[in-house]
Structure 1
Amino acid sequence: MKLTLIAVASTVVALSFSALAEDMPGMKMDGMESKQMTEETKQAPVANADGTIKAIDTVKHTVTISHGAVPAVRWPPMTMVFSVTQDKLTGLTAGDRVSFSFLIEGGRATIVSIQK
């Protein structure tokens, strides 16, 4: 009996939230300013780090780097894979110590610049 009451109560609560959400389109938005996207807010921030190249995959266009903490994006030290264009890898091999800049877009970290 308790399970039936809990199920009914849960359904009523869920439907109440649904009905409340349907009223939202009728909300008055007078006096509320919309945030305009500027060039500054469209671009992902570039972060800088130092690390050691662990592997280079020229087929997948990735480089695996063991890097220190990156405060700009609140990352602890770790080893991870970055997307990279082939031209940026010229002259680099596994084991090289590098300084690099990257940006994060759509959950993917892409190398912007990298040097020994």
Structure 2
Amino acid sequence: MKKTLPLTLAIILSLGAGAACADSVMPGMDMGGQQAKPGASHQAVGVVKKVDAKAGKITLAHGAVKSLNWPPMTMPFRISRGQAETVRAGQRVNFEFVVSGMDATITKIEPAH
């Protein structure tokens, strides 16, 4: 038992570190060789998964973002309260956003036709 405890602990810690690394892929990070240029605007199409106007957050399942070399994914964005009040969960939207550090902020959002 004493010999297996350190091994078990080491495995648990390494799994936790791997999960932390997997979760650390965020907006602004290089996900394929292309860095976000400060202030550059990017466009995508997505589906609104969740809106929290009070917190200024929206979660979108979006398609690939070619300008950032991002694959399709679901992720949170910052959004103004006014913009958040114009969309609802389940709605397909066209949107533009900017990336700053670890944050992606919606600059324009409208229903997709």
TM range (shorter): 0.5 to 0.7
Q: SS of 2:82's equivalent? A: helix
Runs of at least 4 residues off by over 3 Å: none
Q: Is the 8 A contact 2:56 2:84 kept in 1?
A: no
Letter paired with 1:103: V
Q: Quick one: distance in 1 between partners of 2:91 and 2:109?
A: 11
Q: SS of 1:91's equivalent? A: coil
Q: Is the 8 A contact 2:59 2:74 kept in 1?
A: yes
Quick one: which of 79, 86, 90 aligns to 1:84?
Answer: 79
| Aligned equivalent of 1:16 | none
Letter paired with 1:60: A
Quick one: which of 95, 108, 112 aligns to 1:113?
Answer: 108
Normalising by structure 1, what TM-score?
A: 0.61
Q: Quick one: distance in 1 between partners of 2:60 and 2:38?
A: 24
Identity of aligned residues (%): 37
Q: Quick one: distance in 1 between partners of 2:57 and 2:47?
A: 14
> Structure 2, unaligned stretches of length 5 or more?
1-36
Are 1:70 and 2:30 counterparts?
A: no
Q: Quick one: distance in 2 between partners of 1:86 and 1:59?
A: 7
Q: SS of 2:97's equivalent? A: strand
Normalising by structure 2, what TM-score?
A: 0.63
Task: Identify, as 1 or 2, the structure richer in helix.
Answer: 1
Q: Structure with the greater relative contact order (CA < 8 A, sep ≥ 6): 1 or 2? A: 2
Q: Quick one: distance in 2 between partners of 1:43 and 1:61?
A: 21
Quick check: which has more Rg, 1 or 2?
A: 1
After superposition, the C-alpha distances for 1:71-96 in whole angstroms (9 at most, x for unaligned) are 10111000000000011123311000
Give the superposed CA RMSD: 1.4
Q: SS of 1:87's equivalent? A: helix
After superposition, the C-alpha distances for 1:30-58 in whole angstroms (9 at most, x for unaligned) are xxxxxxxxxxxx85210000000000012
Instruction: Report matched runs for 1:19-34 at 5 Å.
Output: none
Are 1:104 and 2:99 counterparts?
A: yes
